[in-house]
Amino acid sequence: MTFEDCRVPAGNLLGAEGEGFKQFLKTLDDGRIAISALAVGLSQRMLEETTAYATTRKAFGRPIGVNQGVSFQIADLAVMVEASRQLTYKAAWLKDELEHGRRSVAEVKQAAAICKLYSTEAAVTATRIATQVFGGNGFMEEYPVARFYRDAKILEIGEGTSEVQRMVIARNLGLPSA
């Protein structure tokens, strides 16, 4: 959308004149934290579904969850969920602290990029693990795993891809950029 010679009355401005790009970037950080929260919820659901399935699905007369190949994957999933949740909480807390003048924009930007990167990649991994544990049933529409796999991937892309998050993180670490 392009506007040429467009005048906006002062009362209709969203923020200060000339600060639109800064406002956009602030909104982007907020969105990254929100996307991270969605990813945490998706991963949590995959943990719950996978745990329940591994407890009730039997192979060779035993629940599949007794097998270390299955139980270790589910344990890893629990760790990813908790790490994602804590990174998201930290970013949200820093955002609240920024509103009270106790934190910097750079701190929030870094935390938002870190939580978005980790939690969305964890959500994709969570759905991959769930698909593995569910086996062929992981591809059947009667189980939620197939749909969540598609949903997780779009979270990884929205509000900046994983590659963009890595660029933001690296830049905030003071690494040189091209």
- Tell me the catalytic residues: 159
Do 106 and 155 contact (CB within 8 A), yes or no?
no
With H, G, I as helix, E, B as strand and everything else as coil, classify residue 20.
Answer: helix
Q: Which two tokens stand for residue 126?
A: 């969570």
Residue 52: other Cβ atoms inside 10 A: 11
The CA distance from 86 to 78, in Å, is 12
Q: Which two tokens stand for residue 26?
A: 């602030």
Burial group, residue 53, by CB count within 10 angstroms (0-12, 13-18, 19+): buried
Burial group, residue 106, by CB count within 10 angstroms (0-12, 13-18, 19+): exposed
> DSSP assignment of 67-98, as one string?
SHHHHHHHHHHHHHHHHHHHHHHHHHHHHHHH
